[in-house]
């Protein structure tokens, strides 16, 4: 079970990595127990997921010939929650499968622990534009522009985190960051198709 001390220490490490300081890796518990506990970081992300989903719902209603009353809310939120859960474990599973062939099996646990904890901070740039849109502060176009900027910020963050966790291997680092990003896009598209909004 996560403690407040571990949460504070791990988020401090995540923030140091956000600032490009690889020393942030030392804040994470990379034991087997720490590995499994790091998946609990998703609980810290739930408060940001709700406004993000509400904004996605609003955008979908704008783009589709459907009224708010006719929008499939139950299906949308159920499939989205399932998608969040699948996305949370998809990369760790794929990375586990390729860790041996790509030569980072010894660094797999630090990589996933770091990814899990830094995902809390990485969600903020994604969520902020959508929250601004949901509050009526940003237009749809402004939200899209800010989201593109957020993608750049998060990709750079993922690169720093992955490089710090693996200790080099630039080609492998770039490949893993790209894999993580593509997996996220694929799952997002799949969710959209399941709900019927893409």
- Tens-place pLDDT, residues 4-48: 999 999 999 999 999 999 999 999 999 999 999 999 999 999 888
pLDDT at 196: 57
Q: Which of 156, 86, 81 lies closest to 121, judged by CA? A: 156
Exposure string over 128-157, b if 16+ CB within 10 A, otherwise e: bbbbbbbeeebeeeebeebeeebeeebeeb
Looking at the chain, the whole-number percentage of residues with pLDDT higher than 70 is: 93
Q: Where are the domains of the chain?
A: 4-195
* CB atoms closer than 10 angstroms to residue 98: 16
pLDDT at 73 over 90: no
Give pTM, 2 decimals: 0.87
pLDDT at 197: 53
Provide the 8-state DSSP code for 1: -
């Amino acid at each position: 079970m996560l403690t407040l001390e571990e949460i504070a220490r791990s988020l401090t490490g995540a923030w140091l990595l956000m600032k490009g300081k690889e020393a942030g890796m030392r804040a994470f518990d990379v034991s087997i127990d720490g590995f499994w506990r790091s998946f609990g970081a998703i609980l810290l992300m739930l408060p940001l997921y709700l406004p993000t989903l509400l904004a996605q719902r609003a955008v979908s209603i704008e783009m589709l010939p459907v009224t708010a009353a006719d929008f499939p809310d139950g299906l949308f939120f159920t499939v989205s929650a399932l998608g969040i859960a699948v996305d949370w474990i998809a990369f760790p599973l794929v990375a586990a499968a390729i860790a041996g062939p790509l030569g980072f099996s010894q660094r797999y646990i630090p990589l996933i622990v770091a990814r899990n904890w830094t995902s809390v901070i990485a969600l903020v740039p994604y969520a902020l534009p959508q929250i601004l849109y949901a509050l009526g502060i940003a237009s749809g176009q402004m939200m899209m522009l800010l989201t593109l900027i957020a993608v750049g910020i998060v990709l750079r963050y993922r690169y720093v985190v992955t490089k710090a966790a693996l200790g080099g291997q630039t080609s492998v680092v770039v490949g893993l960051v790209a894999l993580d990003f593509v997996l996220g896009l694929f799952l997002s598209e799949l969710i959209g198709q399941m709900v019927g909004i893409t």
